[in-house]
């Protein structure tokens, strides 16, 4: 598989260290608020990557942290702990909001068919691991104590800016005048490993440590949690593009200085979901959630379909209109699948299965091109083969895409015995309309056999078509 690697800045052949096995790490959410649909774009694309690696036969172990301490309101070391700010906003304890928003995050993931990683580890579970790594970094001379805090000394590295060609001067870009520089740092790029002194004395969670009572910096948690579950080597590390610097850059600095060797070969970064007005941001408090999409009548899987339609290395602009288009496409796909009529006696046609798989794999093997993979799935419907094969292949490919297609198609007719057409689900309505249009088209093409077959297909499902001057209407039979 060819996959873009932020470290080499090109598409690389993805080859894990140990044949057949993949160790995968994902930066998890900071649980001070609901995840917004931008965060979830990253998790959807990472989920597709994981499922595809499994699909092609790798034994994947995936780890995710939950950031419940140490992530300050700026990704550098200024500002206050986001968790503390969240707790204050809600007049709750940090641990209460951590639990609440962690559960909310996984509830959203479930609705979006995002698999829970094999290991999920809250940062507050791993304080002793953080202390161990910081001790090693101090012993090896990569860290220093200043003003009560422990800092990583970036001048000790041959190369610190691994993902870009930044220099120290670039760090001034975007820094507001109101943000005071931390006088304790020897170099501008240095970052905190352990805080005992910060401007914010009311930090709720603190732990005893050899460096004094305090709390960990944000970056150390991912290095340690990855080591705890995956050892000293990772095959692939994922996150949103904003995490590349400084977060991932700092993770690499810590891990490689501790281990004394290269840590992770392949870095996968998902670009942002933006609003037409700019970046969607959790800290601004104005963002779209899965619940809001549901309130507006969108199935969460329609959002998944929307994300699949564009490449993970391109920014994606969200608009209700674009989501509406994804809904139409999704409903159409489900209804086309619902009209498959696999016969008991049909045999699965292996040659056709292979043909469909090949198109799907060639899309995803080319830097995870999900939109072409969806096209490959549509093309299954056009394959010259029986419906049993098509259904089997769609089910197989959907183990990666996660759109619940067969399930939704089977459920389309549930509740179809309601006598009021208005009680019909939106999906069923879309299906019926699609079939009515297909029939009208067949008639226009004077393909009356096909038109009759569509009428019979609907009748079999309890739907009678009535042709009127104004157009075709339908009745749902009791
Ligand atoms: P956070 O909860 O802020 O730590 O972010 C969780 C994940 O979402 C990280 O991998 C971020 O890089 C990613 N992320 C943040 N904002 C966006 C966005 N607008 N679009 C896509 N991913 C994002
Ligand atoms: Zn991380």
Please choose, from the candidates 66, 69, 27, the residue with its C-alpha nearest in 3D space to the C-alpha of residue 46.
27
The ligand minimizing its distance to the Cα of 63 is 2
Peptide bond into 246 cis (omega under 30): yes
112 C-alpha to center of ligand 2: Å? Answer: 22
**Which of 24, 42, 109, 248 should be mutated for ligand 1, with most atoms under 8 A from CB?**
42
Count CB atoms within 10 A of the CB of residue 478: 7
Q: For residue range 359-408, what is the model confidence (pLDDT) as tens digits? A: 999 999 999 999 999 999 999 999 999 999 999 999 999 999 999 999 99
Q: What is the pLDDT of residue 418?
A: 43
Q: How far is CA 385 from the centre of its chain?
A: 34
Phi, psi of 380 (to 5 degrees): -60, -40
Kindly give, in sequence order, each residue whose CB lies less than 8 Å from that of residue 93, ignoring residues fewer than 6 positions away: 87, 204
The ligand minimizing its distance to the Cα of 225 is 2
Q: Which residues line ligand 1 (CB under 6 A)?
A: 27, 29-30, 38-39, 41-42, 67, 239-240, 242-243, 270, 272-273, 279-280, 282
298 C-alpha to center of ligand 1: Å? Answer: 22
Question: From CA 113, how far away is CA 107, in angstroms rounded?
Answer: 10
**Which of 43, 225, 237, 242 should be mutated for ligand 1, with most atoms under 8 A from CB?**
242
Instruction: Please state the rounded mean pLDDT for residues 206-214.
Output: 93
Question: Do the Cβ atoms of 254 and 226 come closer than 8 Å?
Answer: no
Q: What is the pLDDT of residue 287?
A: 80
**Closest CA to ligand 1's atom 6:** 29
Burial (CB < 10 A; 0-12, 13-18, 19+), residue 329, is middle
pLDDT band for position 472 (50/70/90)? confident
Mean pLDDT of the chain: 90
Q: Which atom of ligand 1 is nearest to the CA of 283?
A: 3
Residue 362 exposure: Cα atoms within 13 Å on the Cβ side: 7
Residue 178 has pLDDT above 60, yes or no: no
Maximum separation of any 2 CA atoms in the chain, in Å: 86
Instruction: Please state the rounded mean pLDDT for residues 227-234.
Output: 98
Instruction: Please state the rounded mean pLDDT for residues 178-207.
Output: 81
Q: Which atom of ligand 1 is nearest to the CA of 272?
A: 20
231 C-alpha to center of ligand 2: Å? Answer: 16
DSSP alpha helices (H): ranges in 339-447? Answer: 350-365, 370-382, 387-401, 405-411, 426-444
Question: Do the Cβ atoms of 56 and 71 come closer than 8 Å?
Answer: no
Sheet with 143-146, side-by-side order of all strands: 143-146, 149-152, 191-195, 215-216
For 200-208, which contacts have Cβ atoms below 8 Å and span 24 or more sequence positions? 200/80, 200/81, 200/84, 202/84, 203/81, 203/84, 204/83, 204/84, 204/87, 204/93, 204/94, 205/69, 205/83, 205/94, 205/95, 205/124, 207/127
In sequence order, what E strands does 116-233 have? Answer: 119-122, 143-146, 149-152, 191-195, 215-216
30 membership: H or E segment, kind and range: none
Helix, strand, coil share of the chain (percent; to 5): 45, 20, 35
Give the whole-number percent of the chain exceeding pLDDT 70: 92
Residue 466 has pLDDT above 50, yes or no: yes
β-strand pairing of 191-195 with 149-152: antiparallel
409 C-alpha to center of ligand 2: Å? Answer: 38
pLDDT band for position 201 (50/70/90)? low
Question: Do the Cβ atoms of 30 and 67 come closer than 8 Å?
Answer: yes
Q: Which atom of ligand 1 is nearest to the CA of 71?
A: 4
266 C-alpha to center of ligand 2: Å? Answer: 14
**Closest CA to ligand 1's atom 9:** 240
Residue 454 has pLDDT above 60, yes or no: yes
Q: How far is CA 322 from the centre of its chain?
A: 19
Q: For residue range 104-157, what is the model confidence (pLDDT) as tens digits? A: 999 999 999 999 999 999 999 999 999 999 999 999 999 999 999 999 999 999
In whole angstroms, how large is the CA radius of gyration of the chain?
26
27 C-alpha to center of ligand 2: Å? Answer: 4
For 49-53, which contacts have Cβ atoms below 8 Å and span 24 or more sequence positions? 49/236, 49/238, 49/268, 49/368, 50/24, 50/115, 50/117, 51/115, 51/399, 51/400, 51/402, 52/1, 52/364, 52/368, 52/400, 53/1, 53/22, 53/24
DSSP state of 15: -
Residue 81 has pLDDT above 90, yes or no: no
Question: From CA 45, how far away is CA 270, in angstroms rounded?
Answer: 7
> Which of 184-193, 258-267, 284-293 shows the lowest per-residue confidence on average (mean pLDDT)?
284-293
Instruction: Please state the rounded mean pLDDT for residues 251-273.
Output: 97
> Which of 85-89, 105-109, 117-121, 304-308 shows the lowest per-residue confidence on average (mean pLDDT)?
85-89
Q: For residue range 20-44, what is the model confidence (pLDDT) as tens digits? A: 999 999 999 999 999 999 999 999 9
347 C-alpha to center of ligand 1: Å? Answer: 46
Question: From CA 79, how far away is CA 282, in angstroms rounded?
Answer: 16
**Closest CA to ligand 1's atom 12:** 240
**Which of 24, 109, 240 should be mutated for ligand 1, with most atoms under 8 A from CB?**
240
Question: Do the Cβ atoms of 61 and 21 come closer than 8 Å?
Answer: yes
Q: Which atom of ligand 1 is nearest to the CA of 31?
A: 2
Phi, psi of 64 (to 5 degrees): -135, 135
Instruction: Please state the rounded mean pLDDT for residues 175-198.
Output: 79
Global pTM reads 0.87
Question: From CA 391, how far away is CA 356, in angstroms rounded?
Answer: 12
The ligand minimizing its distance to the Cα of 279 is 1
Residue 229 has pLDDT above 50, yes or no: yes
For 161-168, which contacts have Cβ atoms below 8 Å and span 24 or more sequence positions? 161/245, 161/249, 162/7, 162/249, 162/252, 163/6, 163/7, 163/244, 163/245, 163/248, 163/249, 163/267, 164/244, 164/245, 166/245
pLDDT band for position 423 (50/70/90)? low
């Amino acid at each position: 598989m060819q996959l873009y690697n932020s470290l080499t800045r090109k598409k690389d052949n993805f080859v894990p260290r140990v044949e057949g096995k993949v160790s995968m790490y994902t930066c998890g959410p900071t649980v001070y608020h609901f995840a917004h649909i931008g965060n979830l774009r990253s998790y959807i694309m990472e989920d597709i990557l994981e499922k595809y690696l499994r699909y092609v036969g790798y034994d994947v172990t995936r780890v995710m942290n939950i950031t419940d301490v140490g992530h300050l309101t700026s990704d550098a070391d200024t500002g206050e702990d986001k968790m503390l700010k969240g707790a204050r906003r809600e007049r709750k304890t940090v641990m209460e909001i951590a639990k609440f928003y962690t559960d909310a995050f996984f509830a959203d993931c479930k609705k979006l068919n995002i698999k829970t990683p094999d290991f999920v580890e809250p940062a507050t579970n791993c304080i002793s691991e953080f202390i161990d790594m910081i001790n090693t970094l101090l012993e090896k001379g990569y860290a220093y104590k200043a003003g009560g805090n422990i800092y990583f000394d970036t001048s000790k590295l041959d190369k610190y800016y691994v993902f870009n060609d930044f220099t120290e001067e670039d760090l001034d870009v975007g820094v507001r005048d109101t943000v005071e520089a931390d006088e304790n740092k020897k170099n501008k790029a240095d970052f905190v490993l352990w805080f005992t002194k910060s401007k914010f004395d009311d930090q709720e969670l603190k732990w005893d440590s050899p460096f004094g009572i305090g709390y960990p910096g944000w970056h150390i948690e991912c290095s340690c949690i990855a080591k705890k579950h995956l050892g000293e080597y990772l095959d692939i590390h994922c996150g949103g593009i904003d995490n590349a610097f400084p977060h991932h850059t700092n993770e690499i600095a810590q891990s490689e200085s501790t281990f004394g060797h290269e840590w992770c070969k392949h870095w996968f970064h998902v670009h942002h979901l933006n609003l037409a007005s700019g970046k969607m941001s959790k800290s601004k408090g104005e963002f779209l959630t899965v619940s809001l999409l549901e309130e507006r009548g969108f199935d969460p899987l329609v959002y998944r379909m929307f994300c699949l339609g564009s490449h993970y290395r391109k920014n994606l602009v969200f608009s209700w209109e674009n989501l509406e288009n994804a809904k139409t496409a999704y409903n159409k796909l489900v209804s086309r699948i619902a009209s498959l009529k696999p016969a008991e006696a049909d045999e699965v046609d292996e040659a056709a299965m292979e043909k469909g798989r090949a198109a799907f794999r060639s899309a995803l093997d080319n830097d995870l091109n999900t939109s072409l993979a969806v096209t490959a799935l549509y093309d299954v419907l056009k394959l010259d083969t029986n419906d049993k094969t098509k259904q089997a292949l769609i089910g197989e490919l959907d183990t990666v895409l996660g759109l619940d297609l067969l399930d939704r198609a089977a459920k389309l007719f549930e509740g179809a015995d309601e006598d009021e057409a208005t009680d019909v689900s939106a999906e069923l309505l879309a299906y019926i309309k699609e079939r009515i249009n297909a029939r009208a088209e067949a008639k226009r093409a004077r393909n009356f056999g096909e038109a009759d077959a569509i009428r019979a297909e609907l009748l079999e499902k309890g739907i009678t078509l009535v042709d009127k001057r104004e157009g075709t209407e339908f009745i749902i039979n009791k």
